[in-house]
Amino acid sequence: MAFPQAQPASAASSKQQLIIINKKINKLAFYENGKLIKTYSVATGRTPKLTPEGTFYIRKKVKNRPWYKEGIPGGSPRNPLGKRWMELSKQENGGYPYGIHGNNNESSIGKHVSGGCVRMHNWDIEKLFDKVLVGAKVKITTSSQTFNQLAKPFFKNINVKAPVISKVNTVSDKSTNVSGKTEAKATVTVTIGSKKYSRTADTMGNFNIPVPKQKAGTKISITAKDKAGNVSKAKSVVVLDKTAPALTVKSVSDKVKTVSVKTEAKANVTITIGKWKSKEIQAKSTGYFNVALPNKQKAGTKITIVSRDKAGNKTTKSVTVLDKTAPVVAVDPVSDQSADITVKTEAGVSVTVTIGSKNYTAKAVDSKGTYKVAISQQKAETNIKVTVKDKAGNTTIKTVKVVDKTAPDAPEVTSATSTLVTGTAEAGSTITIYANNKAIATGKTNPVGNFTVEVKSLEAGTVITVTATDKAGNVSKYSEAKTIEPATEEVTN
C-alpha cells in the first residue's frame, strides 16, 4: 500500500542518527553523530508489552498519513496519528506495524495510554520529522540508565561519565543560595520539595543558585548535568538551624516572684540575677511560662534571660525590675496651731498638700525623705490631703484632720451659792468646779454656753474656781476665784 508523501530510505546516513525511547520515563532522545540533540516527552503502550522493545529503524516517513482503520483522512484534526508518521521496522526494507507519530489528544503525552505506537506532541514531531533520516536506528527500552549510557553501544565518542558534585557549602535557614563545586559548565539543579532551581556552573565549576530561605531540617537535593546529558548522583544536604530563638519577656515588677517568658518550643531558658542563676527550664510550647525567682526583687534590679535552642543558637534579653510599689507615707499631726506640715516618705518623690482648693508643694529638708511645707493656721477638723508620687508614677494619698489644740476661754462665774454654781463657757464643754484645789463637781454647758452645776452644801466664804474642757480635751485656764455667798434668810411678815 502506498502512503501519501512517503520518503524513501537513506541507508548511507542512518548510522549517524539514533532515537532512544525509554518507556520507564516516557521520554525520547534524538542523537546525531554521538551528540544528544534534544529530548522529548512521549506516550507509550498502556501495558508494558504493547510497545515492543528492541532495536528498530525508521522505515518510512509520511506526512498526513490517513487513519485507515476508521477512514479518517490525513491532516484531519480527528486523525489519531496527527500530521506526521515515522514507521518502524526491524529491517530497513521489512514492514512493521508500529510507528512514531503525532496525536489528536495532546493531554495523553507523557502517559502509558497508546495501543503500542509512540505518540508525540504535534509541534515536537513536526520538528523531529524534518531532522530524522529514513534508516535512522531506534532503540526502545525500559531502563534506569541515562540516555548517554543507553547510546554508548551505538557511538564510540559518546560521553557517559556523569559529573561529580565535589562540594556543597553549608546551607542554613538564613541562606538565600546553594553553592558548591562541580564539573565546569555543568547545569546544577537544586530540588526542594516539588520546586527546582537551576544555574550553570562557571568555568571553574563553581555554582551559586539563588533559593528562598528554608526552614531548618529541610532536605535539599543537588544534581549536576553535563553538556552530554549525563546526570550526577544526587547530593543531599539538610538545612541547618542558625536562627536564634525568638524570646519575649513580660515586664517584671517589684511585687512578683516570677518572670514570664515566651520562646521557641524545646528551647532551654535560664535566668540570672547578680550571682544567682536559675536551673535550665525547657519551653514545652510556644506560649508563655513562668520561671520562679528566689524572692521579690527591688525596683531597678537587672534580670538577664537566655534562651538556647537545640542547635546551640541563643538569644539574650535583659529587663529591669519596675517600681510598682506605692511610697509609704507618714504625716506628722497637724493642729489648728500648726504653721507647717511635715511628711515622711521615700526620697526623690513629689509631695503635694491640698487644703480646700489650694495646693502646696512640699520640699525635701533632708536626703532621707522628709518634706515640709508652710501653711496658714487651719480650723480644727479641716481635711488636709497629702499626695505623694514617686518617679515610677506610683501614688499614695493620705488625708489628715486638723487637730483641735486650742483651749477654751476661762469660764465666767455669774453666781455661786452653797448648792449651785452658774456661769458661761464654751458651748458643749465640760465644766469642773474646784474648791481647795479639789474637783468637787462637774457639769455641761448648754448649746449657747450657759451652765448650772449643783454642788454639795458649801460653807459661805468658800473660794471656788472653774475650768472648761472642750471635746478635744483641751482645758481652759481657771476662772477668777469666786466666794460662796452666805445663804439669805427668809423674812416672814
Cα–Cα distance list, 227 to 132, 154, 162, 188, 230 (Å): 22, 18, 10, 11, 7
Q: Could you tell me how many residues make up the chain?
A: 493
Residue pair 98/65 in contact (Cβ under 8 Å)? The answer is no
Question: Any idea what the Cα angle at residue 418 is, between residues 417 and 420, rounded to 5°?
Answer: 55
- Read off the amino acid at residue 431: I
Question: Any idea what the Cα angle at residue 75 is, between residues 40 and 29, rounded to 5°?
Answer: 15
Instruction: Specify the 3-state DSSP secondary structure of 252.
Output: coil
Q: How far apart are CA 412 and CA 48, in angstroms?
A: 137
Closest CA to 253 of 92, 392, 401: 392
Closest CA to 343 of 284, 388, 304: 388
The number of beta carbons lying within 10 Å of the beta carbon of residue 379 is 9
- Residue that is written with C-alpha cell 471656788 in the block: 464
List the 450-454 sheet strands across, edge first: 412-416, 420-424, 450-454
DSSP assignments along 133-195, one per residue: PTT-EEEEE--SS-HHHHHGGG-TT---------EE---BTT-SEEEEE-STTPEEEEEETTE
Q: How far apart are CA 123 and CA 110, in angstroms?
A: 15
Q: How far apart are CA 225 and CA 30, in angstroms?
A: 17
Closest CA to 59 of 131, 7, 116: 7
- Backbone angle region of 298, left / alpha / beta, with phi > 0 → left and psi within -120 to 50 → alpha: beta
Q: Which residues are catalytic?
A: 101, 117
Closest CA to 64 of 51, 50, 78: 78
